[in-house]
Structure 1
């Protein structure tokens, strides 16, 4: 072994130009796997801390760079997320917009941030604004704008957003906010299923079983496949294909955690969407629609209803002859050809 000592070369950051450091920090913010990875570099010295908050760096920050647990939410976390949004980071605009609109109850600011992201063709923001229009969120029932919701949904669907494709398909099949076109609606639903499967095949998931087939109808609580001649369009699971649930967006994950640590209630008499991957709460009583079969679950959209039916509710839904809602209105259960329908509460 050589007895020579290894000489460590210290890099003097003061000798490096700002452009080079900004390029390095931008790459870091883009590839960081957590907020801690990024912050640990910023606290190294004052110069890195200053340059790390440059708009060029924050505009390229990945969602994982500014994602955090709801229990760790603080004024400083809010300020950092706002800095990212002000720098033009579209994902930050959407995330902060969702948090302000649904968690902090700042409807105007939240919707404005989501609109900023939507203008830049951010598909999740377009879809979220569509859901707000469909439900009249933040206002009264009379504030619903179904045509605006369909238009926003169509734009998000054009960009390949799977939930938007599914929502638009249901709107066309039901004539909800648009002229009824069953054939075109079925086409969008089939396209949503195809994109869902393509996303699973391309995500590099090596943990088995990432995609399985269940050919035994006895294990299926609702062993039926709808005919393509009808108004329904079965999901992939209806053919026995068990596709894993899609990855939850950080904004939705934050909202789910936010209300979970606060007793899982957004307010007196208000409910959360029953789809676990959503996280949206009601902004007024009876905003979401209930399952017309059992009346035990409620959803912010038909897309959430379809996904929850596939991953969970299909095995739990127990039809009843009649059930009463909170207003005392008697509502009969009915089937829409896809396992369950929804009715206004």
Structure 2
């Protein structure tokens, strides 16, 4: 029987998958590793056959694995999971560098190795790693209070902000406004804080398919609105910083924040939250506290490392970014003066 033009006969018993060149299969696996929504999605494909299992650990595939593909669960942490992350690191995966660095630094208390892995991720321009290293410098994490390196923290924040990290931009703005590790430049600091709010608002507007905001012009969005309730400053639990003047905020950001589906936090932060909830009930150690932003998961490495909310003194945060997020999420309605 003559086949239609352009079609070929499939030989009985042949497998078209085996006829595919390795380069094409590796390309497909790279796409899967970069976009998988969980490690299970990736592993399930690798277990399909011996060929996929072999090509799935190809250096090119592992180097392209995205954060969700590497989202190891704290309850399933084991030597095999550790080896898999190290395998991805040897392939040059910056997400694996950051995730394992956070796990080593905060969970396994291997401060030197953890910071070194995060530094390697920062060299590869991984913005969460740069921001995390900045917080370590600002807080003196893993050392004593005198081990803080404010200029280094500012430099790391500046680099992460330049690459588009919103929380780093906000932190840098507060450093300039308060003269924290950098010469005081109030107006420049306020400008950066407003820019962080505008970028956060822009990401919120992008979540709406068809809303009245579509007619809002950029100048209208960028203008200042005074919030109904000013977010308190942060103050050290062992020393009070000089109060900074109230800054303008975006009313739209506070108003519509609760109506927007929240993005998932980074797998490294989810691991930290799960780790300390499972092993210590949310308490990292005697006299130590967790960051009050429930999505963060960073613990104190020494007493009084994190700063308290100057409004109520009942919550503490590792950074301005965590304070701003938690303020909009629920602390705005919970914060009460210390006297009350």
Kindly indicate whether residue 261 of structure 2 is the aligned counterpart of residue 256 of structure 1.
Answer: no
SS at match of 1:63: coil
Write the mapping of 1:316-335 to structure 2, written as runs, cut at 5 A.
316-321=334-339
Distance 1:206 1:104 in 2: 43
* Structure 2 counterpart of 1:68: 72
Residue 136 of structure 1: how far off its partner (Å)? 0.7
Kindly indicate whether residue 290 of structure 2 is the aligned counterpart of residue 285 of structure 1.
Answer: no
Q: Deviations over 1:86-134 (max 9, x none)?
A: 2111111111111111111111111111111111111111110000000
Instruction: Return the match for 2:158 from 149, 154, 160.
Output: 154
Instruction: Return the match for 2:105 from 101, 106, 123.
Output: 101
Residue 9 of structure 1: how far off its partner (Å)? 7.0
SS at match of 2:44: helix
Could you say if the C-alpha distance between residues 69 and 306 of structure 1 is closer, same or farther in structure 2, counting changes exceeding 3 Å?
A: same
* Structure 2 counterpart of 1:140: 144
Distance 2:197 2:117 in 1: 30
Distance 2:288 2:92 in 1: 34
TM-score, length-scaled by structure 2:
0.81
Write the mapping of 1:77-88 to structure 2, written as runs, cut at 5 A.
77-88=81-92
Q: Deviations over 1:159-198 (max 9, x none)?
A: 1101001111111111111111110011001100111011
Distance 2:248 2:103 in 1: 33
Write the mapping of 1:263-274 to structure 2, written as runs, cut at 5 A.
263-274=281-292
Distance 2:254 2:144 in 1: 41
Residue 223 of structure 1: how far off its partner (Å)? 3.4
Kindly indicate whether residue 13 of structure 2 is the aligned counterpart of residue 20 of structure 1.
Answer: no
Kindly indicate whether residue 54 of structure 2 is the aligned counterpart of residue 54 of structure 1.
Answer: no
* Structure 2 counterpart of 1:302: 320
What are structure 1's unaligned runs of at least 5 residues?
1-5, 212-221, 323-345
TM-score, length-scaled by structure 1:
0.80
Kindly indicate whether residue 125 of structure 2 is the aligned counterpart of residue 121 of structure 1.
Answer: yes
Distance 2:252 2:38 in 1: 37
The answer to whether the 8 Å contact 2:228/2:251 transfers is: no
Kindly indicate whether residue 43 of structure 2 is the aligned counterpart of residue 29 of structure 1.
Answer: no
Distance 2:251 2:330 in 1: 11
Residue 314 of structure 1: how far off its partner (Å)? 1.7
Distance 1:250 1:48 in 2: 25
What are structure 2's unaligned runs of at least 5 residues?
1-9, 215-226, 232-243
CA RMSD of aligned residues (A): 2.7
* Structure 2 counterpart of 1:3: none
Distance 1:246 1:179 in 2: 35
Distance 2:275 2:14 in 1: 44
* Structure 1 counterpart of 2:217: none
Kindly indicate whether residue 256 of structure 2 is the aligned counterpart of residue 242 of structure 1.
Answer: yes
Q: Deviations over 1:235-285 (max 9, x none)?
A: 435775222455411211111111111211111111100111211101111
Counting matched residue pairs gives: 303
Distance 1:269 1:135 in 2: 17
The answer to whether the 8 Å contact 2:308/2:315 transfers is: yes
The answer to whether the 8 Å contact 2:197/2:253 transfers is: no
Higher RCO (CA < 8 A, seq sep 6+): 2
Higher helix content, 1 or 2: 2
Kindly indicate whether residue 178 of structure 2 is the aligned counterpart of residue 174 of structure 1.
Answer: yes
Distance 1:144 1:298 in 2: 18
Could you say if the C-alpha distance between residues 156 and 175 of structure 1 is closer, same or farther in structure 2, counting changes exceeding 3 Å?
A: same
Distance 1:93 1:240 in 2: 34
SS at match of 1:290: strand
Could you say if the C-alpha distance between residues 104 and 22 of structure 1 is closer, same or farther in structure 2, counting changes exceeding 3 Å?
A: same
